């Protein structure tokens, strides 16, 4: 392997240097029909699952075919998309916020060929490369984070559980048969790069053990005051200990006070939390982003811990599928998962889904916890009251 | 023959959903074949080693990536994230495997020409693996080595006319919904505002000077397709002030079954005939609509613009003409102080080029937050610690009932000294002249 220089000269780093130019302007990339009708759209319709038509005031139409994707993708895979875009869409495509890929054509006659082409392509392992769906009252792509593939703080994988769940819920991706859109998101730790905290079903990787303290290196790899200050619950204090006969500066953790958020590890690599038995996933339910009918709201923890069962997370997958199916059967048209749970009451939610209620579902974190306790005698009798 | 056996990961190849394992395998194969005869600048077998380390992780159930490390390009403090494997001897191909964030174009439209250039760059100088896209919105190029970073940056800026995104305690790469490009609901040009703000604040994006990360997101209507209200410190949401426009003939067409309600979103199940009373009028959160069988009436003064009726009948109901945006501040995920939703700061603001009114709000907030925010404290947490009134004070916005869902229910009210006649300095001798000790 010979080093190939692009022209950058390390001896003169500022020579010809271009910085702070920002991204390419979006209008360079818009398909002509979109550019022509920018800001002049009249209405849209979903012709079939995954296929949209947007109609402009001018009468122009753009037809969009939306496909699911694993988000983690190779250049080989991207090149295949580009080949499809060249063949059917004059070299244009776009990605959605939920990591779907959209292929757009300006004439209905081009749709059938595009769809057939997309569905005909499969990986060697048998899965679709470009499954069509994810529109309207369906489950769309699961937004997720890096997980074990590339991150240093995860409590679970992301791509793996997402693949397992989407396989199980595939019919709801390719069919719009739910009461309302259902958004599943997964974050592999509490940092929540994926904004799981306001999804219909939020899956979040959690640790359950306080950090291990690497006394031998702690004082060399981190600032002790920063590690101490990083703990939101004040569970970390500076101390000294003996390592191989030598006194070293280090920290002590008040384990009863730790809620395993991992912020200390972010500040200090000598405080790792990852643990095979300790780590797993919490299931949160009922969040939404949209202002439609009801206000945006956070997801609530309904299952405090599900173990990491590699490679296909069967318990997690079964629980998610169960929530989806019970909601689908019971909610009213247009009713989001959280709105349904609020209408019937959370005690009923636990009863009809058969999810065991545990003490871990009662909030105990600071002031907001108090506002989630029931301050009323208005409750429903369910099997929980003996 | 694969370099590492992956019996567990292989099980993630079956089933209908696109398999990332199959994709990494096809990339490994493509690199091994090297049909284009590339002189790969990082180990050719890095995708295989990535599968190897992931298989090991599936066995150990503990991540094998080390804690960060400071790497980056000259003059920037963000855009590259250092990543090292903690089993470098077993998996030398991914021993050093840094991430490069590339700022995506607003709305994520691409031409194949541009993405092919990115692929060419990443085949030569990276692993051939990407995230399209990262959670914040960037094109994320996964896996390269330190000597390649300046070369990648040089090619991005010189040949692709593109810049890096943000990471660390800076402005993170802003993101927008597709807005006016393909949506009839857009109340302002979210793509243009996103692009404008990204370019205006390049310094903040690339040189960390904040207490912690700061995110802008731009939704062009209250449907919130980029989820700005839950995941950005500064969320701009399209809004209109005047009346919803009604085409009564088209309302009747929906009632008559000529058009599919909700743009056909419920086609996968038989929900029965469209019932405008049950599906629109009764579901209106403020009950500001009536239907007498002929005419749909909306009492617009009572409307909170939740979008439901418009979503159900997009051909018949349209957003108003007097459009702009609302601004919500302080959303974040749980770390550290629990999750926060964005709180409404500006109910209505114009959102037209050059967007000076919006920039003024941003800059006032930054001046305050950079002064008062603690290390690793998001804006939402500073707001919580210092109070919403402080945010109003620094932005010069007057308090109004739109700022709360209900007024305070405790009377522990802070007053400023100047609000109380005579101030707080009092004379004890004067007091004692009226009260024995």
- Determine, yes or no, domain membership for A10: no
- Determine, yes or no, domain membership for B411: no
Contacts of A284 in chain B (CB under 8 A): none
The band of B20, judged by pLDDT with boundaries at 50, 70 and 90, is: very high
Residue from A51, A334, A342 to probe the interface with B (highest B Cβ count within 10 Å): A334
Q: Which residues pair with A301 in a beta bridge?
A: A284
Which of A153, A196, A333 has the CB atom closest to B266's CB atom? A333
- The position carrying tokens 């009346």 is B243
- The position carrying tokens 């597709």 is B178
Residue B333 distance to chain A (closest CA, Å): 6
- Determine, yes or no, domain membership for B339: yes
The reply to whether B82 touches chain A by the CB within 8 Å rule is no
Q: What is the pLDDT of residue B43?
A: 97
Which of A120, A142, A174 corresponds to the end of one domain? A120
User: pLDDT digits over A321-338, tens only?
Assistant: 999 999 999 999 999 999
**CB within 8 Å: A3 and B27:** no
- Determine, yes or no, domain membership for B418: no
Question: Are residues A359 and A235 part of one domain?
Answer: no
Which of B160, B182, B206 corresponds to the end of one domain? B160
Q: Provide the pairing of β-strand B323-329 with B234-240.
A: antiparallel
Measured between alpha carbons, how far is residue A255 from residues A193, A209, A239, B93 in Å?
26, 9, 15, 38
Question: Are residues B144 and B261 part of one domain?
Answer: no
Residue B392 pLDDT > 70, yes or no? yes
Neighbouring residues of A130: CB distance < 8 A, sequence distance ≥ 6: A67, A68, A69, A81, A84, A101, A118, A119, A121, B18
- Determine, yes or no, domain membership for A204: yes
C-alpha–C-alpha distance, residues A298 and B339, integer Å: 8
Domains held by chain A: number: 3
Which of B300, B318, B336 corresponds to the end of one domain? B318
Host domain of residue B313? 245-318
C-alpha–C-alpha distance, residues B258 and B316, integer Å: 12
**CB within 8 Å: A41 and B16:** no
Residue B47's φ and ψ, nearest 5 degrees, are -60, -35
CATH number, domain at A116?
3.30.70.3340
Residue A55 pLDDT > 90, yes or no? yes
Cα dihedral: B363, B366, B372, B373 (round 10): 170
C-alpha–C-alpha distance, residues B186 and A38, integer Å: 11
Q: Which of residues 374-413 of B touch A (CB under 8 A)?
A: 375-376
The band of B2, judged by pLDDT with boundaries at 50, 70 and 90, is: confident
- Determine, yes or no, domain membership for A70: yes
**CB within 8 Å: A23 and B195:** yes
Q: What is the pLDDT of residue A192?
A: 86
- Determine, yes or no, domain membership for A262: yes
Question: Are residues B362 and B218 part of one domain?
Answer: yes
- Determine, yes or no, domain membership for A60: yes
Q: Which of residues 352-381 of B touch A (CB under 8 A)?
A: 375-376
CATH number, domain at B71?
3.30.70.2500
Question: Are residues A163 and A110 part of one domain?
Answer: no
Question: Are residues B204 and B93 part of one domain?
Answer: no
Closest CA to B373 of B168, B167, B208, B210: B210
**CB within 8 Å: A124 and B130:** no
Q: What is the pLDDT of residue A310?
A: 98
Closest CA to A296 of B220, B222, B379: B222
Measured between alpha carbons, how far is residue A139 from residues A164, B63, B169 in Å?
14, 29, 34
Percent of chain A with pLDDT over 90: 97
Question: Are residues B259 and B188 part of one domain?
Answer: no
Contacts of A26 in chain B (CB under 8 A): 105-107, 109, 181, 191, 195
Question: Are residues A336 and A307 part of one domain?
Answer: yes
**Orientation of helix B112-125 relative to helix A75-88, angle to 10°:** 160
Question: Are residues B134 and B261 part of one domain?
Answer: no
Which DSSP symbol is given to A299? -
User: pLDDT digits over A339-379, tens only?
Assistant: 999 999 999 999 999 999 999 999 999 888 999 999 999 99
- Determine, yes or no, domain membership for B75: yes
Domains held by chain B: number: 3
Residue B363 pLDDT > 70, yes or no? yes
C-alpha–C-alpha distance, residues A330 and B85, integer Å: 47
Give mean pLDDT, residues B140-151.
98
Question: Are residues A261 and A237 part of one domain?
Answer: yes
Percent of chain B with pLDDT over 70: 100
Residue B150 pLDDT > 70, yes or no? yes
The answer to whether the CB of A158 falls within 8 A of the CB of A192 is no
Total beta-carbon pairs less than 8 A apart between chain A and chain B: 448
Question: Are residues A293 and A189 part of one domain?
Answer: yes
Contacts of A298 in chain B (CB under 8 A): 339, 341
- Determine, yes or no, domain membership for A350: yes
> Exposed, middle or buried by CB within 10 Å (0-12, 13-18, 19+), for A20?
middle
The answer to whether the CB of B391 falls within 8 A of the CB of B369 is no
Q: What is the pLDDT of residue A273?
A: 95
The reply to whether B431 touches chain A by the CB within 8 Å rule is no
- Determine, yes or no, domain membership for B299: yes
User: pLDDT digits over B166-193, tens only?
Assistant: 999 999 999 999 999 999 999 999 999 9
Question: Are residues A239 and A201 part of one domain?
Answer: no
Q: What sections of B105-189 are H helices per DSSP?
A: 112-125, 149-158
Residue A94's φ and ψ, nearest 5 degrees, are -145, 165
Question: Are residues A228 and A196 part of one domain?
Answer: no
Which of A70, A75, A176 has the CB atom closest to B266's CB atom? A176
Residue A386 distance to chain B (closest CA, Å): 34
Which of B112, B128, B160 corresponds to the end of one domain? B160
A39: left (phi over 0), alpha (psi -120 to 50) or beta: left
**Orientation of helix B46-60 relative to helix B20-33, angle to 10°:** 150
Host domain of residue A325? 158-208+276-372
Question: Are residues A232 and A87 part of one domain?
Answer: no
Question: Are residues B299 and B191 part of one domain?
Answer: no
- Determine, yes or no, domain membership for B53: yes
Residue from A20, A168, A271 to probe the interface with B (highest B Cβ count within 10 Å): A20
Terminal-residue alpha carbon distance, chain A: 72
DSSP string, B266-286: TTTS---S--HIIIIITT-TT
User: pLDDT digits over A143-165, tens only?
Assistant: 999 999 999 999 999 999 999 99
Contacts of B114 in chain A (CB under 8 A): 24, 28-29
User: pLDDT digits over A2-17, tens only?
Assistant: 999 999 999 999 999 9
- Determine, yes or no, domain membership for A356: yes
Which of A82, A97, A276 has the CB atom closest to B116's CB atom? A82
Question: Are residues B226 and B285 part of one domain?
Answer: no
The answer to whether the CB of A300 falls within 8 A of the CB of A346 is yes
Question: Are residues A294 and A192 part of one domain?
Answer: yes
CATH number, domain at A259?
3.30.70.20
Residue A195 pLDDT > 80, yes or no? no
Neighbouring residues of A52: CB distance < 8 A, sequence distance ≥ 6: A44, A45, A46, A63, A64, A66, A135
- Determine, yes or no, domain membership for B17: yes
Give mean pLDDT, residues B134-150.
97
Residue A46 distance to chain B (closest CA, Å): 5
Percent of chain A with pLDDT over 70: 100
- Determine, yes or no, domain membership for B429: no
Give mean pLDDT, residues B409-425.
95
- The position carrying tokens 């309600």 is B261
The band of B194, judged by pLDDT with boundaries at 50, 70 and 90, is: very high
Q: What is the pLDDT of residue B1?
A: 65
Which of A99, A127, A145 has the CB atom closest to B17's CB atom? A127
CATH number, domain at B285?
3.30.70.20
Q: What is the pLDDT of residue B69?
A: 74
**Strand ranges (DSSP E) for A14-156?**
41-48, 51-56, 61-67, 72-74, 92-95, 101-105, 143-144
Q: Which residues pair with A306 in a beta bridge?
A: A281
Question: Are residues A244 and A103 part of one domain?
Answer: no
Which of A19, A176, A311 has the CB atom closest to B11's CB atom? A311
- Determine, yes or no, domain membership for A15: no
Residue B156 distance to chain A (closest CA, Å): 10
**Orientation of helix A314-330 relative to helix A159-168, angle to 10°:** 40
For residue B51, give both structure tokens. Answer: 């599968």
Neighbouring residues of B101: CB distance < 8 A, sequence distance ≥ 6: B78, B79, B80, B81, B134, B136, B138, B139, B140, B141, B164, B165, B166, B167, B173
Contacts of A39 in chain B (CB under 8 A): 180, 186, 189
Question: Are residues A307 and A236 part of one domain?
Answer: no
Which of B30, B40, B67 has the CB atom closest to A76's CB atom? B30
For residue B25, give both structure tokens. Answer: 């395998």
Closest residue, chain A, to B203 (C-alpha)? A20
Q: What is the pLDDT of residue A22?
A: 98
**CB within 8 Å: B112 and A22:** no
The band of B317, judged by pLDDT with boundaries at 50, 70 and 90, is: very high
Question: Are residues A71 and A46 part of one domain?
Answer: yes
Segment (H or E) for A253? strand A246-253
Q: What integer best gives the mean pLDDT of chain A? A: 97
CATH number, domain at B227?
3.30.413.10
Contacts of A312 in chain B (CB under 8 A): 11-12
CATH number, domain at A287?
3.30.413.10
């Amino acid at each position: 392997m010979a080093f190939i220089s692009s022209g950058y000269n390390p001896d003169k780093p500022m020579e010809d240097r271009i910085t702070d130019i920002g991204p390419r302007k979006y209008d360079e990339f818009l398909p002509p029909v979109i550019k022509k009708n920018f800001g002049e759209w009249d209405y849209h319709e979903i012709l079939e699952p995954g296929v949209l038509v947007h109609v402009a005031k001018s009468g122009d139409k753009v037809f969009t075919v939306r496909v699911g994707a694993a988000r983690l993708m190779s250049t080989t895979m991207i090149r295949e998309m580009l080949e499809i875009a060249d063949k059917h869409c004059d070299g244009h495509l776009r990605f959605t916020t939920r990591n779907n890929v959209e292929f757009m054509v300006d004439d209905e006659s081009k749709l059938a060929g595009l769809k057939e082409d997309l569905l005909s392509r499969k990986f060697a392992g048998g899965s679709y490369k470009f499954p069509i769906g994810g529109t309207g009252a369906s489950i769309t792509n699961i937004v997720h984070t890096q997980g074990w593939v590339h991150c240093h703080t995860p409590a679970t994988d992301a791509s793996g559980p997402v693949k397992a769940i989407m396989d199980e819920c595939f019919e709801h991706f390719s069919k719009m048969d739910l009461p309302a859109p259902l958004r599943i998101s997964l974050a592999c730790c509490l940092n929540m790069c994926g904004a799981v905290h306001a999804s219909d079903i939020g899956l979040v990787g959690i640790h359950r053990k306080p950090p291990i303290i690497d006394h031998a290196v702690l004082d060399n790899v981190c600032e002790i005051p920063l590690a101490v200050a990083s703990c939101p619950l004040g569970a970390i204090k500076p101390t000294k200990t003996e390592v191989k006969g030598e006194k070293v500066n280090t920290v002590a953790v008040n384990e009863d006070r730790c809620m395993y958020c991992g912020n200390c590890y972010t500040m200090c690599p000598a405080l790792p939390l990852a643990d095979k038995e300790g780590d797993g996933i919490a299931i949160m339910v009922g969040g939404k982003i949209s202002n439609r009918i009801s206000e945006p709201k956070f997801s609530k923890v309904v299952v405090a811990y599900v173990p990491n069962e590699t490679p296909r997370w069967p318990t997690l997958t079964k629980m998610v599928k169960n929530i989806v199916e019970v909601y689908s059967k019971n909610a009213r048209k247009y009713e989001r998962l959280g709105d349904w749970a609020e209408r019937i009451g959370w005690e009923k939610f636990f009863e009809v889904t058969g999810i065991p209620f545990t003490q871990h579902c009662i909030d105990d974190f600071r002031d907001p916890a108090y506002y989630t306790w029931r301050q009323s005698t208005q409750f429903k009798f369910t099997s929980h009251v003996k | 023959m694969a370099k590492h056996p992956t019996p567990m990961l292989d099980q993630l190849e079956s089933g209908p959903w696109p398999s990332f394992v199959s994709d990494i395998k096809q990339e490994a194969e493509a690199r091994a074949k090297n049909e284009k005869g590339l002189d790969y600048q990082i180990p050719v077998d890095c995708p295989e080693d990535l599968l190897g380390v992931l298989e090991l992780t599936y066995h150990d159930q503990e991540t094998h990536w080390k804690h960060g490390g400071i790497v980056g390009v000259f003059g920037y403090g963000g855009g590259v994230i250092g990543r090292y494997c903690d089993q470098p001897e077993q998996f030398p191909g991914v021993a050093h495997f840094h991430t490069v964030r590339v700022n995506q174009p607003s709305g994520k439209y691409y031409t194949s020409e541009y993405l092919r250039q990115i692929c060419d760059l990443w085949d030569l100088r990276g692993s051939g693996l990407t995230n399209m896209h990262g959670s914040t919105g960037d094109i994320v190029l996964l896996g390269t080595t330190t000597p390649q970073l300046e070369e990648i940056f040089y090619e991005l800026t010189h040949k692709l006319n593109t810049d890096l995104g943000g990471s660390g305690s800076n402005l993170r790469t802003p993101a927008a919904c597709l807005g006016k490009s393909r949506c009839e609901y857009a109340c302002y040009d979210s793509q243009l505002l996103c692009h404008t703000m990204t370019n205006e604040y390049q310094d903040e994006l690339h040189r960390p000077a904040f207490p912690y990360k700061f995110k802008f997101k731009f939704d062009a209507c209250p449907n919130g397709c980029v989820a700005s209200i839950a995941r950005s410190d500064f969320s701009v949401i399209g809004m209109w002030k005047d009346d919803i426009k009604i085409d009564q003939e088209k309302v009747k067409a929906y009632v008559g079954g000529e058009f599919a309600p909700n743009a056909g979103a419920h086609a996968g199940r038989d929900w029965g005939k469209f019932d405008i009373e049950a599906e629109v009028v009764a579901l209106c959160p403020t009950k500001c609509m009536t239907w007498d069988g002929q005419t749909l009436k909306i009492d617009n003064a009572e409307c909170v613009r939740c979008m439901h009726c418009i979503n159900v009948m997009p051909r018949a109901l349209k957003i108003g003409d007097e459009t702009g945006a609302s601004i919500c501040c302080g959303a974040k995920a749980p770390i550290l102080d629990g999750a926060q939703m964005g709180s409404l700061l500006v109910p209505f603001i114009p959102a037209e080029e050059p967007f000076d009114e919006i920039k003024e709000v941003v800059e006032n907030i930054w001046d305050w937050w950079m002064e008062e925010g603690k290390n690793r404290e998001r804006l939402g947490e500073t707001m919580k610690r210092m109070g919403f009134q402080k945010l109003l004070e620094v932005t010069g916005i007057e308090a109004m009932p739109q700022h709360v869902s209900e007024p305070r229910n405790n009377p522990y009210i802070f007053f400023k000294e100047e609000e109380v006649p005579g101030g707080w300095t009092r004379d004890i001798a004067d007091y004692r002249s009226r009260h024995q000790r």
